[in-house]
Amino acid sequence: MSIHQSYAVFGLGRYGTAVAKELIENGAEVLAVDIDEDVVDAAITEIPLCKCADITDAEVIKQLGISNIDVVVIAMASNLEASVMAIMLCKEAGVKTVIAKCATEMHKKILDKVGADKVVLPESESGTRLAKNLLSSGFIDIVELSRDVSMVELDVKPEWIGKTILELNLRKKYSINIVAICQGTDVCVNIEPEKVLEESMKLIVIANTAKLNKLK
């Protein structure tokens, strides 16, 4: 996922607003929707494309043009019924990726079953972090350790396959340090320079946040 995709955020509470604002600040196109007109009026100064609408209505979903959206984030954890309806309508409209916020583990199971591609518990993933993950094309996950340093999980790039860590010299080229290599259920933290990278591996690296774009 990346800045070049279009996004919609349903529900403008603290979490949904954080997702929308982070996406917009990074140049992404975002449609934000909430059923409360006062909430929409308050958000529109920071989120230009902001609509007041009931996203549990199939006709509304059609009018909003949700079928043209690449990623929809449903941030209405307190309203399970609305979340379920929104997920189903978005998938019926052909949205490729639907991400839903949930309130409990039980709700997570329900949202998984009705078609959400990813379900997040707000306690474990902030709205800002979710937005950064969506924008970080090629990254599986990204966690800010400080203002300047991040820990990132990423796939092995095609051009790295079959080469050793020593050959690639990733520290010099990308300013990253590999701290672990995951392959299936195995996690290796004792990284040897002669380790040959394979397509099935995932790398956990520490990187300078400002230089992460070099990895995309």
Map residue 178 onto helix, strand or coil: strand
Q: Find out whether 34 and 40 touch, Cβ atoms under 8 Å.
A: yes
**Per-residue pLDDT at 176:** 82
Whole-angstrom distance, CA of residue 85 vs CA of residue 24 = 26
Q: Does domain 6-135 have CATH number 2.40.50.140?
A: no
**Per-residue pLDDT at 10:** 98
- Residue ranges of the chain with pLDDT lower than 70? 1-4, 122-147, 210-216
**Per-residue pLDDT at 132:** 64
**Per-residue pLDDT at 61:** 96
**Per-residue pLDDT at 1:** 46
Average pLDDT, the chain: 84
Start and end residues for every CATH 3.30.70.1450 domain found in the chain: 139-215
- Shortest CA distance to 210 belongs to which of 150, 167, 141, 122? 150
Element (H, E) at 118: strand 118-120
**Per-residue pLDDT at 147:** 62
Q: What is the distance, to the nearest Å, from the Cα of residue 152 to the centroid of all Cα atoms in its chain?
A: 13
Region 139-215: CATH code: 3.30.70.1450
Start and end residues for every CATH 3.40.50.720 domain found in the chain: 6-135
Q: Find out whether 180 and 187 touch, Cβ atoms under 8 Å.
A: yes
**Per-residue pLDDT at 173:** 82
**Per-residue pLDDT at 129:** 67
Write out pLDDT tens, residues 47-90. 999 999 999 999 999 999 999 999 999 999 888 889 999 999 99
